[in-house]
Structure 1
Amino acid sequence: MMIRKLYNIFTLIIGAIAVTYTSFWLGEQSYSWLPPQAAAESRLIDDLFSFLVTVGAFIFLGVTATLFYSLLFHRAAQYDYSDGPHIEGNIALEVVWTAIPIFLVFWIANYSYQVYEQMGIQGPTALVHLHNPMGMESAYAATEEAIAEPEEQIDVIAKQWAWVFHYPDKNVTSTELHLPSDRRVKLALHSEDVLHGFYIPAFRLKQDIIPNHKIDFEFTPIREGKYSLTDSQYSGTYFATMQANVVVESPEEYHKWLTKVAAHRPGTAYNQAAAEYAQSITQPVKTGWPTVAPAPAPLVNYPG
């Protein structure tokens, strides 16, 4: 009996170690499941995601391992149809399995809220308070420059269905968002019609853009390359076409691009939504539901 008890304890310890190690390993692997970290803020989201994967894996593997152990070593013998032993409630056990999930939920909620607060994401309360609440950092960057003033300020105009970016310093407009790497950037987000969502997966940044309100949003790009900006909100028929390239380049290349584009005369940029709508209204056979006409194709210095 004692040997059996020691065997069960040994098996439990080995299983707990294996489940814990595997959970932490999966949490580390989860960093590779997401796009490369292209903004300082992405580290916050990736750490949170890794934490959730670790906790979720521990719970899943723990429950699954317990089920398999019970099936393999504690199943009834063949043709044994007798009832199992009658077990009364265990107050201590019930308190433990109630307290642990409650503690875990509050832990995850607190950690998630801290990340949400540090990112400076403004939700529906932006309709009432168009400033960061006291003590909230705006899109916290995990660098020493996090508290520095933004070095670049860019206006972002969202409309059905196009993005337009205005650089006040050079009075330049573009349908492609250019950003300097390792420099704090402040975006002034505007919507000309309905609710839109500013979302760059590689930056782990998503901010709702509310009509008739300007929302300031700050972050720090840290990885040069080309990324994708998309509208995360359903803004109408052609919302899937509302995408733009995001180019992160060195500060020198960024300012060279601004100077070069400033010499361009504004021209009409190609807009997929406007092109598809124009094509649909010229068809002899009308298909689909009536839709809102897209805004005119943007007039910009740089069409991308």
Structure 2
Amino acid sequence: MFRFLEYLLIAGYIAVLLVISHWIGQQAESWMPLQATAEAKKVDDLFSFLVSIGAFILLGLVGMMLYSVLFFRASKDDYSEGHPSRGDVRLEILWTATPTLLVLWIAFQSFNIYQQLDILGLAQIVHLHMPLESEPADAALVSDVPKPASETIDVFAKQWEWSFRYPNNVTSNELHLKVDRSTRLNLHAQDVIHGFYVPEFRLKQDIIPKRDIDIVLTPTRTGKYKLKDSQFSGTYFALMEADIYVESLKAYNQWLVQVASEPTTVVKNQAVAEHIQAPKTLFKSGWYTVAPTPRAVANKRKVSNDT
């Protein structure tokens, strides 16, 4: 009878753990920045599941330790060894198979989400470094099936600025996207490796020189966001930011027509402003620093560094 009550207590504790862990996992989504793309929901769902699993394991282990301390304390004069669990085949199978299956499931879900983001161009890099004798030279290119998108915007990254070219050849230092419409971004690095990172989009993609990388995203929330460089690309990489505007189709078309009618102008580059300032340190490090790129010319009117 006592053994049955013990099993019943353990089952009740596990049920409570499942409820609490699920609740903690649901709360974890609020720890992240706002979801601004359809793809962000998939990433947050996986993060929520991982937090739930972690909470279940943590609370379960703490509960087992407290239960052992309260009900299985050895007396002061008891120096005997406990029951050996190393030779228990059932336990060995349980704690080997369970983590293995869990890790494989997480890996599958992560790969599935990555595939849904529809990032093209990376397979070509793997193909160049690991060629297969039985595979044709253009096999990686054939396997890339582009995801439908309303339009394609070219994204250019260089030390240390972003620029964006739209289908009507308008060039801007701001990225404008249509809400609820899929847009293909064709990423180009013109010097070193950069990183396209927008926290609200749950997107962080390396941009590799001499390699065009396409990524399709679907913004779902209007507003203003910040694009950052997630890769250390030199002295001023922390200043390499750009504004992203997600807006309605009408507002997007109005902006595109407006900037197309404006004359091109020199845009502000914060890295240049920092570079021309006198150093504020007492000692020079002597480290080699790449001079910031000359200020770009774009249709979007901005204040230049000379004003």
Q: Residues 135 and 191 from structure 1, CA distance in 2 versus in 1: closer, same or farther, beyond 3 angstroms?
A: closer
TM-score by length of 1: 0.87
Asked whether the equivalents of residues 122 and 207 of structure 1 are also in contact (C-alpha less than 8 Å), the reply is: no
The corresponding residue for 2:198 is 200
Give yes or no for contact 2:123–2:140 (8 Å, CA) kept in 1.
no
> What TM-score comes out, normalization by structure 2 length?
0.87
Deviation, 1:287, is 2.5
| 8 Å contact kept, 2:119–2:214 | no
Aligned residues of 1:39 and 1:221 also touching (Cα < 8 A): yes
Give 1:211's aligned residue: 209
| CA shift in 2, pair 1:94/1:284, >3 Å | closer
Corresponding residue SS for 1:157: strand
Structure 1 segments unaligned to the other structure (5+ residues) = 139-146
Partner deviation per Cα, 1:211-252 (whole Å, 9 max, x = no partner): 112222111111100111111111111111111111100010
Cα deviation, 1:76-132, whole Å, max 9, x if unaligned, reads 23x334223453621122111211111111111111111112222358544356997
Distance between the aligned counterparts of 2:48 and 2:145, measured in 1? 23
Q: 3-state SS of the aligned residue for 2:34?
A: coil
Displacement, 1:182? 0.9
The amino acid that maps onto 1:82 is Y
The reply on whether 1:83 has 2:83 as its aligned counterpart is no
Gap change, CA 1:134 and 1:57, over 3 Å in 2? farther
| 2-structure distance, mates of 1:187, 1:60 | 41
Partner of 1:142: none
Provide the secondary structure at the position in 2 that maps to 1:279. coil
How far apart, in 1, do the equivalents of 2:82 and 2:32 lie? 49
Give the total of aligned pairs: 290
Alignment equivalent of 1:178, drawn from 166, 176, 179: 176
Structure 1 distance, partners of 2:237, 2:256, is 28
Q: Is the alpha carbon distance of 1:133 and 1:61 closer, same or farther for their aligned partners in structure 2, counting shifts above 3 Å?
A: farther
Equivalent-residue separation in structure 1 for 2:113 and 2:291 (angstroms): 39
Residues 1-304 of structure 1 aligned to structure 2 (within 5 Å): 2-3=1-2, 5-77=3-75, 79-87=76-84, 89-121=87-119, 125-127=123-125, 149-169=148-168, 171-280=169-278, 287-288=284-285, 289-303=287-301
CA RMSD of aligned residues (A): 2.4
Stretches of structure 2 lacking an aligned partner (at least 5 in a row)? 128-137, 303-307
